[in-house]
Chains A and B, each alone.
Chain A
Amino acid sequence: MRYLPKSDLERREMLSTIGVNSLEDLFSHLPEEVRIKQPLQIAPGKSEYDIVDYFRARGTENANGYSSFLGAGVYNHYRPVLVDTVVSRGEFLTSYTPYQAELAQGTLISIFEFQTMICQLTGMEVANASMYDGSSAVPEAAMMAMRLTNRDEILVARTVHPEYREVLATYAQHQGMPVHEIGYHPESGRIDLEDLDRQLNDKVAAVILQSPNFFGVIDDVKKAAEITHRHGALLVFVFTEAVSLGLLEPPSDADIVAGELQSFAIPPSYGGPYAGIIAAKEKFIRQMPGRIVGETKDTHGHQSYCLTLSTREQHIRREKATSNICTNQALIALMATVFMTIYGKQGLRELAGQNLSKAHYLASQLPLRFTGPFFNEFVVNTNGRSPEQINDALLGEKIIGGLPLKRFYPELDGAMLLCATEMNRREQMDRVAEAFHQ
């Protein structure tokens, strides 16, 4: 088999060094009752060609050659070629977690740069080396707030990504962490600040708010932070569309930021792998979950880097750890790092600007559901026809339309979430607008 590098001759030599006669002797000590009864019912090994062929066939059974107006937490952005060039280097791809710093400076430096760029983007002072994704970063941020405030209730805006809220509920159920939802203003689509003020009390550890929110609406983070802080709670800022940070005011008023970086050159890949982050004010660093890279010196006095503050983590602290997280998303975070480096200061702003222009071009032709400002996503009314009917019509033109919102928000039956990015061309947007007016 091509992944097994030994010849039978080598195997025999090694068996004789060990002092046994056959490979089977190496596990003959396993009790009879635990040994496998019959060979695995899995087809014999396939050639590389067969494997490529199989997956190509599966790829053709999915959407191919469609243009898409789906967002809702996963965005179509162009992936610069250099991103895959870098992450395909075996030295990044096939290395382990950088516990042995002397052999892993490449990974460590790239993570240090990642943490720095995340801070620059979000207005936070410290960031970790990544979380699984945005959805799991949210409950980790909530638990962090719980430890920091010694309070246990969580308020989450209903405009936070519905699947993130579901994950939060799963994590919260056995932590003694009641979660309550804050409504949204039916006209603006922004968080209902009066409801927030009403529900806040001295038991609330954190208020979780997303912006742009699930409806694409940019929320009033400053006001929400003010109200939250007045009650002694922490504000957790969530983002799913990282490109928006190229134009939008960074959430410096928040205490903790939990976000998803999929927009930064991470392929949609049917839902993962992506990369989440947690960033925060510096004073909170010792309660942050996940790996963190810090600067230090080697014995020659050269600047070098290593994993640090590991006494927060499970491999040292076991049941007293800040989280059970071990494996993170290092290679995916590296995609984001390369993306941020390529676009840089000017490029990210220009890219965000294109998204803004495209979305506003499309939106200008459609009946908007909410009045709040938006970046590259917005909710529209489908006026009499169902979102599914419109989407079906668009599929005939090889266009995947927006996300019908009824599934997550029953009160928004007849509304659809649309997204336009730099990947959508004007002609396609005109087709979408036509479908609404037919």
Chain B
Amino acid sequence: MIKKTSPHIVQNEALIFQRSSPGKIGYQLPELDVPHVDPASALGPENTRGEIEHFPEVSEVDVIRHFTRLSTYNYAIDLGLYPLGSCTMKYNPRVNEQVARIDGLAWAHPYQPESLSQGAMEIVAELEKVLREITGMDAVTLQPAAGAHGEFTGILLVRAFLEAQGNPRKKILIPDSAHGTNPATAMMVGYRVENIRSKENGMVDVEALERVVDEDVAALMVTNPNTVGVFEKDIAKVAGILHAKGAQVYMDGANMNALVGIARPGDFGVDVMHLNLHKTFSTPHGGGGPGSGAVAVKQHLIPFLPSPRLQRKGDQWSWNYELPQSIGRVRSFYGNFGVLVRALAYIMAHGGPGLRNATMDALLNANYLRALLEPYYELPHQAQTMHECVFSDVRQAKLGVHTGDIAKRLIDYGFHPYTVSFPLIVKGAMMIEPTETEGKGELDLFADALISIAKEIEEDPKMVLKAPLLTRTSRVDEVAAARKPVVRWKPQPPTSKAAD
């Protein structure tokens, strides 16, 4: 039975270009206090454009209605549980939004004098410090813009380190349970990718690993807890195997929400890792970004970190560009500073003990859902669950209903689906990560929904295949979208074509 939702009226809304009408305006500029300059004579007529064809012409009221209506078509954490595995969709505290908008921070120009940027630099330094403590690593760079960008930075560091020793080596080992960004990253740094198979229990096969690690291996990219939500308990041994052959251990920190305050990668042999500040440290995903992919390293990788590095001289912060061994810049300026402000505000709100409590609640929530759902869905990997659990649709698939269909039916119950069909090592994966910011009530409703769907599948599988049934937009045809891509609006030609 659907308990969480009731139908309600939703406003229809055309594209902004269809709302547009010539002569409407939604802006007013201050009066020009200098002589008007004629564009064509200042720039040359050949450099001056005509009007921007079909650009919007709307009023201020049109703007607010348009975007507010669009917003109502979205699901959001603010509306409820968002159990996307590997994505750590937790509550985004609003105070973080407010402090990021403080004038002295939001309007700081990256090239303003360092003497007038001390507050911003202090924030960067403080965040580096707490992230060192959380990870157990020796240094942190906050320049990378997102997780994959952090991976890119981290593997560049590995390469620079190995090159300095005389041989960059040839390949990166990646477990078959890894995120797609890992192999894509390795390629961008000029490495060959060698996939390694996970064991039945979802963990890295230590013996198999030992056989493939040789002097051609630059690094292992490992996610811990891995993507089935299981802690790689042999991680220290795994690191030992890599290190014995002079290779590095890269940790994908996507799942760090399971470890903050209870275990530190720096203590179990990791040489370099990234953190997704937009996951573990609650900065908002905003429909797909911005993120921040802080990278933490051990001592031996510090000389290679991206330029510039923050340094303290007397009582002043400054940027150090004199880094002869640096891999260079991975993006302009100093990283996604506005995201860093939010992450630090989040860490300050929790404090050391609070971060550990948050982790424990994240584990509690995942284990609780596992306990409630295990009777109804197949759990292929029985090892102890950390912050997320991965079920399989095998029971339901026998009746013709797959993970993607169950996900769509969850929408009718008022929930965003879990992560569908990932990791690849689980057939029909249903990857559920509740995070710590859910109460028992919301989790019970979610479990109820999945249990009810399991029953629906037994009684009326065809109905579930049509889901979602209660949404404004029913199942969209992704295949048609890719076949003949229409990726921008164009005005209808004057002669109307026959209906298709």
Contacts and interface: CB of A to CB of B under 8 A. Distances in A.
A88 to B, nearest CB: 7
Contact of B110 (A41, A74, A93): A74
B43 A328 contact: no
Contacts of A250: 49
Contacts of B331: 132-133, 135-136, 167, 272
A64 B107 CA distance: 9
A311 interface: yes
B332 A134 contact: yes
Contact of A347 (B27, B145, B278, B436): B27
Contacts of B285: 94-97, 327, 330-331
Given A46-B348, A308-B482, A317-B180, A330 B27 contact: no
Contacts of B186: 319
Given A70-B112, A102-B476, A272-B145, A58 B91 contact: no
A360 B32 CA distance: 13
Interface stretch (A1-9, A180-188, A195-203): A1-9
B368 A17 contact: yes
A351 B55 CA distance: 15
B52 interface: yes
B17 to A, nearest CB: 7
21 contacts: A18-B367, A26-B364, A27-B363, A43-B352, A48-B95, A58-B119, A88-B97, A90-B77, A102-B471, A113-B17, A115-B487, A132-B149, A248-B49, A269-B106, A271-B333, A296-B476, A299-B466, A314-B183, A330-B288, A352-B39, A373-B43
A324 B76 contact: no
Contact of B481 (A30, A58, A294): A294
A121 to B, nearest CB: 6
B133 interface: yes
A269 B108 contact: yes
B117 A62 contact: yes
A318 to B, nearest CB: 4
A371 to B, nearest CB: 12
Interface stretch (A150-158, A170-178, A231-239, A379-387): A170-178
Nearest to B419: A99
A112 B17 CA distance: 11
Interface in B371-419: 371-372, 384, 386, 407-408, 411, 416-417
B332 A135 contact: yes
A19 B371 contact: yes
Contacts of B486: 294-295
A436 B101 CA distance: 34
A92 B149 contact: no
A247 B42 CA distance: 11
A2 B348 CA distance: 12
B261 interface: yes
A3 B93 contact: yes
A268 B106 contact: yes
Interface string B269-293: 0000000101000101111111110
Contact of B102 (A4, A56, A273, A293): A56
Given A45-B349, A112-B489, A270-B105, A11 B364 contact: yes
B303 interface: no
B110 A270 contact: yes
A308 B482 CA distance: 5
B209 interface: no
A18 B371 contact: yes
Contacts of A270: 105, 108-110, 117, 120, 333-334, 337-338
A380 B151 CA distance: 41
B66 A341 contact: yes
Given A18-B364, A51-B99, A112-B487, 20 more contacts: A41-B133, A48-B95, A62-B117, A62-B119, A88-B97, A95-B286, A100-B75, A102-B471, A176-B190, A270-B334, A271-B332, A295-B487, A319-B184, A319-B187, A328-B289, A328-B290, A341-B26, A344-B24, A344-B55, A345-B57
Interface in A122-178: 125-127, 129-130, 132-136, 161, 163-164, 166-167, 169-171, 173-176
Contacts of B307: 166
Contact of B183 (A29, A43, A291, A319): A319
Contacts of B185: 324
A248 B47 contact: yes
A55 B188 contact: no
A367 interface: no
A76 B109 CA distance: 9
A246 B52 contact: yes
Q: Which of B75, B82, B193 has the most CB of A within 10 A?
A: B75
A125 B380 CA distance: 47
Contact of A116 (B119, B407, B488): B488
Contacts of A356: 37, 39, 42-43
Q: Which of B236, B284, B290 has the most CB of A within 10 A?
A: B290
A109 B352 contact: no
A96 B87 contact: yes
Nearest to B67: A86
B488 A318 contact: no
Contacts of A345: 51-52, 55-57
A112 to B, nearest CB: 7
A407 to B, nearest CB: 9
A80 B306 CA distance: 35
A434 to B, nearest CB: 16
Contacts of A80: 27
Contact of B476 (A30, A176, A304, A313): A304
Interface stretch (B196-204, B243-251, B339-347): B339-347
A33 B97 contact: no
A63 B117 CA distance: 7
A294 B482 CA distance: 8
A121 B52 contact: yes
A377 to B, nearest CB: 13
Nearest to B269: A34
A318 B168 CA distance: 22
Contact of A120 (B52, B67, B111): B52
B451 interface: no
A409 interface: no
Contacts of A2: 349
Contacts of B334: 270-272
B474 A36 contact: no
